[in-house]
Structures are given as structure tokens and as C-alpha cells.
Amino acid sequence: MAHDSVPAWVDPMLAKPDGDRLREGPQWANEYKLDGYRVAMRIGADGTTALTSRNGLDLTAEFAELTDVLTAALRGRAAVLDGEVVVYNEAGQIDFGLLQQRRGRFQKHNAARRTDPFEDVPVRFLAFNLLLVDDQLLLDQPYEQRRRLLTELPMPNPFRITIVPSFTSDELAAERLTPQRLLERVAAEGHEGLVAKRLGSPYLPGKRPDFWCKHPPMQTREVIVCGWRLGQSGFTGTVGGLLLGAHAPDTGDLVYIGDVGSGFTRQERGQLRDRLKPLERAGHPFAAAPPREDVVRAR
């Protein structure tokens, strides 16, 4: 889809792991880390809005309800905001699973060539950076200046757009908080952790510098889905569990590290089955055979 009147897309700057050491001190601000889709909101002087994913994909049609949230408030100024599109569950927590389910329903809506508006699960844009305003590119401006300009933008519809919470060291101290206590608070609220950002840092498109450091509330590990087992009892005909693998850091071999079978709804189990069945192969992909009791009945 062409968006000729909107400002150019900016390759997003990324955060790097903080090595399990929370950043603190007067040169840092800590923002909530969100579990959604990273999206650039690009608004032309005429109000035309484009929504672009982290990988440069056009998501404007998918999140059409977000395309006019700032048009009137900007009063003819162009702008580019960096942020996250999220969905909230009934408990008031950001829920990435619901966002993924919404995407699946949107794709089916599109595949059916329906022309009626897609107004399924409500989405919200949470902004954390202002990259351009009134044709002024702000990439070389320090984070604290971009943040100040962002907070000066009117946010007319809090159901559709707001600004990600951020705390300087003084703001934390005023609430008797440390970065660790803030991390505990955001984890209890269901957020994905914290991102520490240096107040004086520029915005480096496509880079992952030391200026932004992410800290999850728990240690995570990237794994590979290597197999699955059919469910039993109430999950008959769907996925009962996933067999997981990871590459050994010393040899690079794919090794079996265990399985997981909880945390999925019945609908998600059926969707997993449909995605995994066409990928079936004759034998397991691991460098060494897993325990027989773990792979019996496995696909």
C-alpha cells in the first residue's frame, strides 16, 4: 500500500540484554518493556497515517482503528512515533497471545475478501519515542529531549494511544523505588520487564547499542520446537506437548532440552497441530537420541 504523503520509515533502534545487571544512576531512565508488536506510527501533514512493523511491513489495514488518533491533535504537523501495539486481557494485563489470535482472525477476514471493517479485539498504541515532528528529524537529539517532546504531544484518546511509563532516578527516588523494586512492580503487573535508556543517547536506526539495555523479570532462553505429541483425555486430536531443543554453545549441535505441555488453550493446541503436521519428518532432529519415554508417540 502506498503512503506517499507520510514521512519515511525509520529502521527501529533495538535494546540489548543488560547481562543481568540493572542499570541505575542519574544518567539512566527506566521504561516499561511491553509484549506487543513494535510499530512505527508515521503521520503526514495531511493526517494520512501509516503503521509499519519492525521489519518494514505495512500494518495499516490490520490496525486501521489507530490511523486517525493523532491527526486532529497534530494540527497539520507531520510526526513519526516509535512504540508498541498491544492488546489487554480482562485482567487489565498486556496479552501477547490475544494479539496473536487477533492477527489470525484478521488474516482470515482478509482471505475471505471481506470489505467490512475489522473491529475485533481492541488495540492500543503505546509510544516511547518521537523520531520526527513538524518535519524536524530528532534522531540526533538526546533521549531526554525526544521524551520531553513526546510528552508534550496531546493524547486525545487514551483508549487508543498513550505514552509508555518512564522513570528517571529522581522520579524513582521520589516514590521510594529502586530499579529492582520497579522491576518487581512491573513483573507483578504482567509486563515484560524494563528497558534502561541513557538520557543523553541519540537514536541509532537499526543498531543495538549500549544506550538501551533490556532486563526481563525472569531469565529466558530461545528454544526450537523440534516435535510434538498428540494430546490425551480432553486434548485428544490436538497438541498435547511440544518437544524442545537448543543449540549447544560449544559444538552447535541440536540437543534435546525437554518438553512443555501447559499454558495453551484448546484453540491454540488445534492451531499448533495444523501448523506442525505438514512439517513432519521420519526421525528426530537431535544430535543424540532423547530418552525413549519422552519421544514415544512423538511426531
Decide: helix, strand or coil at residue 272: helix
Distance CA 280, CA 227 (A): 8
Q: Are strands 212-215 and 37-43 parallel, antiparallel or unpaired?
A: unpaired
Catalytic residue selected from 16, 33, 108, 277: 33
Distance CA 192, CA 29 (A): 17
Distance CA 295, CA 289 (A): 9
CB neighbours of 47 closer than 8 A, spacing ≥ 6? 68, 71, 72, 74
Residue 266: C-alpha distances to residues 3, 51, 135, 235, 240 (Å): 40, 32, 49, 7, 10
Distance CA 48, CA 166 (A): 29
Of residues 213, 216, 242, 212, the one with CA closest to residue 227: 242
Distance CA 177, CA 166 (A): 13
In the block, cell 516514590 appears at 175
Distance CA 206, CA 40 (A): 13
Of residues 176, 246, 183, the one with CA closest to residue 214: 183
Is 214 one of the annotated active-site residues of the chain?
no
Kindly state the DSSP code that residue 12 receives in the 8-state scheme. P
User: Are the CB atoms for 293 and 263 separated by under 8 Å?
Assistant: no
Query: Which residues are marked as active site?
Result: 33
